[in-house]
């Protein structure tokens, strides 16, 4: 064979070998994120950074605040994995510090977000004292007429669920309280008020929620409607947490499931190539950076649906896996989760130094659902 031809063949073989090896390495590296060991390691890394921040610098927000309440949900999920009860001990200590009370603005959803973790702890430890103060508040919520319109005026948010974030803060608290007490009226009220908010804020043509009435006529730079990623992430996170406490024969169960499936299909179609969702769902180029709070809640909600056989694994597992990969890409060496949009009500800028406790909560909720998948050998 001609020497020059032989050299060309050798070069081609080397290139093919390198390409195959590189692709195999990349795939293996990606797959390694989904073992029980690596999932737990990632969760602990992020959780321990947050706990260390609290221990060394104090709480940036009041312990009873909705921001921390969202974080506690993730810490509870991690604490329920065998060998991680130190996180449950932390949550019990926080509850004791707060005397198991909710916030000062009694009927504002943000002020009783924390109660969903109280209820989960009460279920785990069979201790009704952990929900005793919230139960009194919940009885007051149940007894309210709830006849006001949800138009954004007269501080309606202090009495009704007039903004989409509220659907993560409040309904799960009431739903978990039903599971903790056996009293159906709390879940039934959560369902009734969920649909009141949905009738007002849900765009059935887009299968997405406006943040509140003030966004009905706003447009993004590309002319599309304004749908905030974390806002709809709050909704999907709230959806699955209500469903987790809703009996199969509950009269509203099918309606909740259909809403969940419609949103899951829409959200999965808006995922970016890197696995994330940007701050603006319909105008991702206006905020062309991965955003981890919305991404975390979508990863959690979609993974939950696979685990509960509401979503097709073949269709949605690739979406979840891509989301978990990009979530891990935002974790810095010390465990800080970056690219979390700050507190707000609409799409906004974000960078690697942006972090917040609710982003940590979403990350941990996602990891816990993926851990269940790994246990079941779904992934």
Q: How confident is the model at residue 6, as a pLDDT?
A: 46
Q: The pTM is what?
A: 0.92
Please list the pLDDT of the chain residue by residue as tens digits (379 residues). 454 544 444 434 333 333 333 332 233 346 799 999 999 999 999 999 999 999 999 999 999 999 999 999 999 999 999 999 999 999 999 999 999 999 999 999 999 999 999 999 999 999 999 999 999 999 999 999 999 999 999 999 999 999 999 999 999 999 999 999 999 999 999 999 999 999 999 999 999 999 999 999 999 999 999 999 999 999 999 999 999 999 999 999 999 999 999 999 999 999 999 999 999 999 999 999 999 999 999 999 999 999 999 999 999 999 999 999 999 999 999 999 999 999 999 999 999 999 999 999 999 999 999 999 999 999 9
Q: How confident is the model at residue 30, as a pLDDT?
A: 62
Helix or strand run (H / E) with residue 203: strand 202-203
Q: How confident is the model at residue 25, as a pLDDT?
A: 27
Phi, psi of 277 (to 5 degrees): -120, 135
Q: Tell me which residue of 124, 241, 230 sits closest to 172, measured CA to CA.
A: 241
Listed as own residue / partner, the contacts of 341-346 with beta carbons closer than 8 Å and 24 or more positions apart are: 341/229, 341/230, 341/279, 341/291, 341/293, 341/294, 343/67, 345/163, 345/165, 345/211, 345/212, 345/228, 345/231, 346/211, 346/215, 346/226, 346/228, 346/231
Q: How confident is the model at residue 2, as a pLDDT?
A: 52
Distance separating alpha carbons of residues 333 and 369, to the nearest angstrom: 23
Distance separating alpha carbons of residues 118 and 124, to the nearest angstrom: 10
Distance separating alpha carbons of residues 351 and 354, to the nearest angstrom: 5
Distances (CA, A) of 336 to 35, 41, 319, 349: 21, 14, 24, 18
Find the angle CA(119)-CA(105)-CA(51) to the nearest 5 degrees. 55
Q: How confident is the model at residue 31, as a pLDDT?
A: 77
Render the burial of 216-240: b for 16+ CB within 10 Å, e for the rest: eeeebeeeebbbbbbbbbbbbbbbb
Catalytic residue positions?
A: 165
What is the DSSP track for 144-172? S---S---S-TTGGGTS--STTHHHHSHH
Q: How confident is the model at residue 18, as a pLDDT?
A: 31
Residue 202, beta-bridge partner list: 209
Helix (H, G, I), strand (E, B) or coil at 209: strand
Domains of the chain with CATH codes: 44-376 (1.50.10.10)
Asked if 112 and 171 count as a contact pair (C-beta separation under 8 A), the reply is no
Distances (CA, A) of 346 to 198, 211, 232, 274: 18, 7, 11, 22
Q: How confident is the model at residue 27, as a pLDDT?
A: 32
Render the burial of 47-68: b for 16+ CB within 10 Å, e for the rest: bebbbebbeeeeeeeeebbbbb
């Amino acid at each position: 064979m001609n020497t020059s031809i032989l050299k060309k063949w050798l070069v081609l073989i080397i290139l093919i070998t390198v390409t195959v090896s590189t692709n195999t390495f990349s795939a293996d590296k990606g797959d390694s994120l989904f073992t029980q060991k690596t999932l737990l390691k990632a969760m602990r890394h992020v959780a321990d950074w947050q706990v260390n921040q609290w221990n060394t610098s104090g709480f940036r927000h009041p312990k009873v605040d909705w921001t921390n309440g969202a974080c506690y949900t993730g810490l509870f999920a991690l604490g329920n994995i065998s060998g991680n009860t130190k996180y449950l001990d932390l949550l019990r200590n926080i509850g004791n510090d707060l005397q198991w009370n909710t916030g000062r603005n009694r009927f504002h959803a943000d002020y009783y977000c924390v109660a969903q973790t109280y209820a989960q702890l009460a279920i785990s430890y069979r201790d009704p004292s952990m929900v005793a103060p919230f139960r009194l508040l919940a009885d007051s919520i149940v007894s309210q007429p709830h006849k006001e319109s949800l138009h954004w005026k007269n501080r309606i948010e202090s009495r009704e669920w007039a903004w989409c974030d509220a659907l993560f803060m409040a309904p799960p608290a009431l739903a978990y309280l039903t599971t903790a007490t056996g009293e159906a009226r709390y879940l039934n009220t959560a369902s009734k008020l969920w649909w009141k908010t949905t009738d007002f804020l849900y765009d059935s043509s887009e299968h997405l929620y406006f943040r509140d009435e003030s966004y009905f006529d706003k447009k993004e730079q590309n002319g599309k409607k304004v749908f905030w990623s974390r806002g709809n992430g709050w909704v999907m996170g709230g959806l699955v947490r209500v469903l987790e406490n809703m009996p199969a024969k509950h009269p509203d169960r099918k309606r909740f499931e259909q809403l969940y499936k419609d949103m899951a299909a829409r959200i999965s179609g808006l995922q970016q190539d890197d696995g994330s969702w940007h701050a603006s769902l319909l105008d991702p180029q206006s905020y062309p950076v991965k955003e981890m709070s919305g991404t975390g809640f979508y990863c959690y909600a979609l993974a939950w649906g696979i685990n509960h056989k509401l979503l097709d694994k073949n269709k949605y597992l690739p979406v979840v896996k891509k989301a978990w990969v990009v979530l891990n890409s935002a974790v810095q060496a010390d465990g800080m989760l970056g690219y979390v949009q700050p507190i707000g009500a609409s799409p906004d800028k974000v960078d690697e130094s942006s972090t917040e406790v609710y982003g940590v909560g979403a990350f941990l909720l996602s990891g816990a659902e993926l851990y269940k998948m790994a246990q079941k050998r779904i992934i």
